[in-house]
Amino acid sequence: MPLSRRLLAEFVGTALLLATVVGSGTMGLDLSGGNRGVALLANAGATAGMLYVLIVLFSPISGAHMNPAVSLVFRLRRELDNRAFAGYVLAQVAGATAGVVLAHLMFGLDVVQWGDHARTGASQWLSEGVATFGLVLTILLGLRHRAEAIPALVAAYIFGAYWFTASTSFANPAVTLARSITRTFAGIRPADVPGFVMAQLAGALLAMAVVRALGANNDEPAQ
């Protein structure tokens, strides 16, 4: 598949993902009268549903990474070269930003609004490390054992991770960066982005190491 088509798929997929994250959070909070629990349930459900659709649609084109941490893992596994990896990351960040802007426009909000939701501290960083670890573990072991189930596996994992992590599972550096330009339910303060991103990358690398220790990178059938 030409790299240009793969990058377009990553851009469009990530844009639709972020439009869903920000839009469903906004809609959920509005319709629930400010009930944050109901809003989170709506946010998690909409995000999981959209992830399933996007992975099914774009996986045959680009692999449907939509996440720089995932692309980093595939680069380290030598399934992406340096040029493709750089292109994927740029397309993902640009797509994520476009998705947030699109959500703002759909809801009649200021196009760019710096996030003011504080998300920092050891518990938040640990949560992001765990969230990204689980996501990458799901992808790599899923590819090993049930590749056809990856869309459902990732969607189900993210739905659960919204609820069992204190950070509500960003698990994605591009998502984190883009969510710093919204003051909606989904937002994060720009100052809190570096801590999240470092935790996400650490979680992704740990998952890769665990998968290697489990022997899931070779061609031997699981026992």
pTM of the model: 0.93
Instruction: Kindly give, in sequence order, each residue whose CB lies less than 8 Å from that of residue 214, ignoring residues fewer than 6 positions away.
Output: 141
pLDDT of residue 216: 56
What gap in Å lies between CA 170 and CA 76, rounded to an integer? 22
What gap in Å lies between CA 103 and CA 80, rounded to an integer? 31
216 — phi, psi (to 5°)? Answer: -90, 10
Q: What is the pLDDT of residues 90-131, one digit of tens each?
A: 999 999 999 999 999 999 999 989 999 999 999 999 999 999
Per-residue burial over 46-76, b if 16 or more Cβ lie within 10 Å, else e, is bbbebbbebbeebbebbbbbbbbbbbbbbbe
How remote is the C-alpha of 7 from its chain's centroid? Answer: 16
pLDDT of residue 1: 86
Q: Residue 219 — pLDDT band, cuts 50, 70, 90? A: very low
Instruction: Kindly give, in sequence order, each residue whose CB lies less than 8 Å from that of residue 148, ignoring residues fewer than 6 positions away.
Output: none
How is the chain classified by DSSP, letter by letter? --HHHHHHHHHHHHHHHHHHHHHHHHHHHHHTTT-HHHHHHHHHHHHHHHHHHHHHHHHHHH----SHHHHHHHHHTTSS-HHHHHHHHHHHHHHHHHHHHHHHHHTT--S---------SHHHHHHHHHHHHHHHHHHHHHHHH-GGGHHHHHHHHHHHHHHHSTT-----HHHHHHGGG--STT---GGGHHHHHHHHHHHHHHHHHHHHHTTTTSSSPP-
CATH for 3-213?
1.20.1080.10
Domain ranges of the chain: 3-213
Percent share of the chain, pLDDT over 70: 96
Q: What is the pLDDT of residues 37-50, one digit of tens each?
A: 999 999 999 999 99
pLDDT of residue 217: 54
Q: What is the pLDDT of residues 198-213, one digit of tens each?
A: 999 999 999 999 999 9
Q: What is the pLDDT of residues 30-78, one digit of tens each?
A: 999 989 999 999 999 999 999 999 999 999 999 999 999 999 999 999 9
Residue 4 has pLDDT above 90, yes or no: yes
Per-residue burial over 10-28, b if 16 or more Cβ lie within 10 Å, else e, is bbbbbbbbbbbbbbbbbbb
pLDDT of residue 112: 86
